[in-house]
Amino acid sequence: MKNRVLGLVLLALLSFFINACSVVTTLSFTERDIKDSPNLVENYSFSPYSTIGEEALKGWMVILNPHDNSESPITIDPDTACEGKTSLRIDASDKSVLILSEPFNVRRYGGYYLRCYFKTNSPNPPRPQLRFIVFKENGKIVNRFKTKAKINNDWQRTTISAGFIKPGARFGRLGIYIPPFKEGSIWIDDTSCFEVHGFKID
């Protein structure tokens, strides 16, 4: 019963992230704006912390749909990397995959630059979604930003520039959603969120 309830909760959360409307911002930050800003995403390069799949992704939450006992399509890949020595590989399956970073602090008047690198060997890959979700202290969502990545067999960077955060914002999470696909793999690496700007307060 407990597993069934957990499954329903995860399914509801996955559905929410797929279907919820998102903000498209007119801000445009770049790599030059990062300077010496720290990366707010823990384990941004998917370093392996364990050989056990459920424990390997330190700093990330994984939601699979359908959530069942079949083999997970997610693997830490020690042979392919954009940054560091490893990347996250999503193999083709009938499951959709949502990964969420651990929460990190955000400010209402902050400007944020998020990025993620993707590559694939799939002949017909889906378009992954990069998301930035901002929450109040009680967990209520105040802002959502998203963009769809265009991917091929070379590492491609996908970015979000975000700001004009609504009042009450306390923390954010970087999210990546990959729909089911039939052939090949998708690799993810160097996921980042930087606070790159502070807006003037009237």
Unique residue bearing structure tokens 């056990």: 52
- State pLDDT tens for residues 135-159: 999 999 999 999 999 999 999 999 9
Tally Cβ neighbours within 10 Å of residue 202. 3
Tell me if 22 sits within 8 A of 144, measured CB to CB.
yes
Asked whether 111 and 126 are in contact (CB, 8 A), the reply is no
Helix, coil or strand: residue 198:
strand
Q: Among the CATH numbers 3.30.540.10, 3.40.640.10, 2.60.120.260, 3.50.50.60, which is that of 2-198? A: 2.60.120.260
Domain residue spans of the chain: 2-198
More confident residue, 12 or 169: 169
By residue count, the chain amounts to 202
**Residue that the structure tokens 């959502």 belong to:** 144
What is the percent of the chain with per-residue pLDDT over 70, rounded to a whole number? 80
pLDDT of residue 35: 80
pLDDT tens per residue across span 21-58: 444 455 677 777 778 889 999 999 998 876 655 567 88
pLDDT of residue 54: 59
Q: Residue 7: what pLDDT? A: 45
Q: What is the pTM (predicted TM-score) of this model? A: 0.82
